[in-house]
Structure 1
Amino acid sequence: MKRTIVYQIPDSYIGHKLFEFLHAKGFSRQLLTAMRHTDDCIFLSNGQPVRMNMLIPGAISIKVIIPETESETDLIPADYPIEILFEDEDIMVVNKPAGLPIHPSRLHPDHSLANAIAYEYQSRQEPLVFRCVNRLDKDTSGLTILAKHPLSAAILYQMVKSRDLERTYFAIVDEAVADSGTIDQPISRRHADGMPNSIRRYIDPVDGANAVTHFHVITRANHLALLELHLETGRTHQIRVHMESIGFPLIGDRIYHPDNHMMERQALHAGRLDFVHPITGQPLHFDASLPADMQSFFPDVSIMR
């Protein structure tokens, strides 16, 4: 079902074109272009359709029907248990388990979060266009946001770009790590040695992309330390590469700590999200407790706020 949103246009936009107001509300250029070629998607309060180049005559009310800009995703529905923490007409927040990639691959076309969401939508008899805003590695667990239409996607992608979507991660490393620190090291990519299908990231002060990670120790136990981490940037494998660069790779990390077998995957969990709802403007906060494999090292610790 298409999303319909009602806007009250203030006096400050009198004499401006309607598309200027919509752009200020987060409508991307791609979405505005699609709306220019879509009949009857903007209406006045009396039901009269209007065009985006209309000059705004006063403090009016408009109703906007968000058109779909992508084709329905051709996904194989697969029944994987997924914890949905929040859902409304605009977004869905899920707690992704470790071992499940975000998107299917050629070799595994039915094994991903996208397939699990397709199964959920099939049970509802609803069409699905899968839009994941903050992607997680296959073996990283935790919170991820799905946008349910092009407008919420455009606004959330911009939030990620402008760092207005605050993500907090939790990781486990050797106990000798400093109490806190900031790692400011550029990151590049290359094929991993002996693993032609695997990409490895590495510190590259000359040509690398800017990357900054802040961390502090929550607790220490069993010769390990539980870290809370915040990112200023969102490079792929950023936490894993940065912690390796200071001599404290994540336990279980098969790429950056291959001789450690304390876990079957890297000990990394996206446990907290803070952001403003893309449509309503309401502040949102979500927590996801440590999964069992990480919690087992710190049974008496809770990361929930």
Structure 2
Amino acid sequence: MIHSLTAMSKGDELDRRFRLVFQVDEGGILLREFLHAKGISKRTLTATKYDGGDIRVNGFERNVRHPLQSGDEVLIIFPSEEPSPGLLPEIGDLSIVYEDEALIIVDKPAGQSTIPSRDHPNGTMANAVAGKFAKERLPATVHVVTRLDKDTSGLICIAKNRHIHHLLSEQMMNSGFHRQYIALVEGHVERDQFSIVQPIGRKDGSIIERIVREDGQFARTDVEVLGRSDIKGHQLTKIALTLYTGRTHQIRVHMRWAGHPLHGDDLYGGSHGLIGRQALHCAMIGFLHPLTSEKVEFRCDIPLDIKRLTNTDIKQTQ
């Protein structure tokens, strides 16, 4: 498979629509079936056909019922995408860890929302990414693959088109998308390593809070203790957490269920005093790249407000 964003002439403008090129190894298959086998969803294929995309075989436009032969070259040009009315492009600071034609990995600071909401319509990570795309005249909108709470810092994965978003979402549903977090939790966690496999659902009567409940969605969090400390009367444990699912507030809910809520997380029982937010940071994202199928990992540094609570001058307890 060949993938490219190489500009092509389109009237007086440059065509920067996302495109993929495939080589057909074996004939005897319809174009529709071939594209489905390559991960192109029915919804994406419909949008490509009717919303300004293009499908070509050996340089000629073909419909999805076209029979393919061995050696054919299939080009699919995805339609341009426009940001939704609720996502206004803005010029903002972005800490970009990685970027290619398919996706972008951004290190989000604590205090910034991932996407706009009624309470935070502007200044979000998505607004800034949309502004970047607009400045570069990239015909793409922002597809957030992984979200972080406003007060959680760290890595966010954003797809540049609906097809890449679909492929990454499929990985996440099948536990092929791993994220590692660093956190400070209340108390001294006894076990050095363990897994929390508890279903998570919405708390009755709340639109925000989640709880462990039998009828919730499957969720798994692996926990590893990195150190235990006593700081200004607070017993804390520094832990690394690996997520295999992406439920809302998963780490916060699981650690409260385990009896060790995040320090600073007043929604789920954490105390304040040492940090002005929940002490949680997404330090690593790993997955199979949707275009190459190669395993990729991206990392970022722990922010200063968490790092200063884990300095070597803090008394460590075993």
Q: By the TM > 0.5 criterion, same fold?
A: yes
Query: Would you say the 8 A contact 2:220–2:245 is kept in 1?
Result: yes
The residue that corresponds to 1:109 in the other structure is 121
CA–CA separation in structure 1 for the residues paired with 2:223 and 2:47: 43
The residue that corresponds to 1:199 in the other structure is 208
What is the SS of the residue equivalent to 1:7?
strand
- One-letter amino acid of the structure 1 residue matched with residue 220 of structure 2: V
Q: Deviations over 1:238-282 (max 9, x none)?
A: 111111112100000020125433221111111111111111223
CA–CA separation in structure 1 for the residues paired with 2:35 and 2:269: 48
Matching of residue 41 in structure 1 with residue 48 in structure 2? no
User: What are structure 2's unaligned runs of at least 5 residues?
Assistant: 1-15, 314-318
**Fraction of identical pairs, as percent:** 36
- From the superposition, tell whether residues 108 and 56 of structure 1 become closer, same or farther in structure 2 (CA, over 3 Å): same
What is the SS of the residue equivalent to 1:297?
helix
CA–CA separation in structure 2 for the residues paired with 1:38 and 1:251: 48
- From the superposition, tell whether residues 164 and 114 of structure 1 become closer, same or farther in structure 2 (CA, over 3 Å): same
Matching of residue 26 in structure 1 with residue 73 in structure 2? no
- Report the Cα offset of residue 160 of structure 1: 1.0
Superposition pairs for residues 114-193 of structure 1, below 5 Å?
Answer: 114-178=126-190, 179-190=192-203
The residue that corresponds to 2:82 in the other structure is 71
Identify which of 248, 257, 260 aligns with 2:269: 257
- From the superposition, tell whether residues 177 and 148 of structure 1 become closer, same or farther in structure 2 (CA, over 3 Å): same
Q: How much is the aligned-residue C-alpha RMSD, in angstroms? A: 2.2
CA–CA separation in structure 1 for the residues paired with 2:155 and 2:282: 6
Greater mean alpha carbon deviation, residues 89-98 or residues 223-232: 223-232
- One-letter amino acid of the structure 1 residue matched with residue 78 of structure 2: I
CA–CA separation in structure 2 for the residues paired with 1:40 and 1:187: 39
The residue that corresponds to 1:221 in the other structure is 229
What is the SS of the residue equivalent to 1:30?
helix
The residue that corresponds to 2:258 in the other structure is 246
Query: Would you say the 8 A contact 1:211–1:233 is kept in 2?
Result: yes
Identify which of 60, 65, 71 aligns with 2:72: 60
Identify which of 210, 217, 224 aligns with 1:209: 217
- One-letter amino acid of the structure 1 residue matched with residue 21 of structure 2: V
- From the superposition, tell whether residues 191 and 265 of structure 1 become closer, same or farther in structure 2 (CA, over 3 Å): farther
Displaced runs of 4 or more, over 6 A: none
Query: Would you say the 8 A contact 1:155–1:278 is kept in 2?
Result: yes
- From the superposition, tell whether residues 119 and 34 of structure 1 become closer, same or farther in structure 2 (CA, over 3 Å): closer
- One-letter amino acid of the structure 1 residue matched with residue 285 of structure 2: L
Matching of residue 87 in structure 1 with residue 99 in structure 2? yes
Query: Would you say the 8 A contact 1:78–1:116 is kept in 2?
Result: yes
The residue that corresponds to 2:19 in the other structure is 4
- Report the Cα offset of residue 16 of structure 1: 1.2
CA–CA separation in structure 1 for the residues paired with 2:312 and 2:161: 40
Superposition pairs for residues 254-293 of structure 1, below 5 Å?
Answer: 254-293=266-305
- Report the Cα offset of residue 40 of structure 1: 6.7
Q: Deviations over 1:58-101 (max 9, x none)?
A: 23112221124x53333333443220111111111111111111
- From the superposition, tell whether residues 280 and 292 of structure 1 become closer, same or farther in structure 2 (CA, over 3 Å): same
Q: Deviations over 1:13-46 (max 9, x none)?
A: x21111212112111110012233357712233x
User: What are structure 1's unaligned runs of at least 5 residues?
Assistant: none
- One-letter amino acid of the structure 2 residue matched with residue 204 of structure 1: R
The residue that corresponds to 2:4 in the other structure is none
- Report the Cα offset of residue 107 of structure 1: 3.1
**TM-score, normalised via structure 1 length:** 0.88
CA–CA separation in structure 2 for the residues paired with 1:62 and 1:128: 22
- From the superposition, tell whether residues 120 and 300 of structure 1 become closer, same or farther in structure 2 (CA, over 3 Å): farther
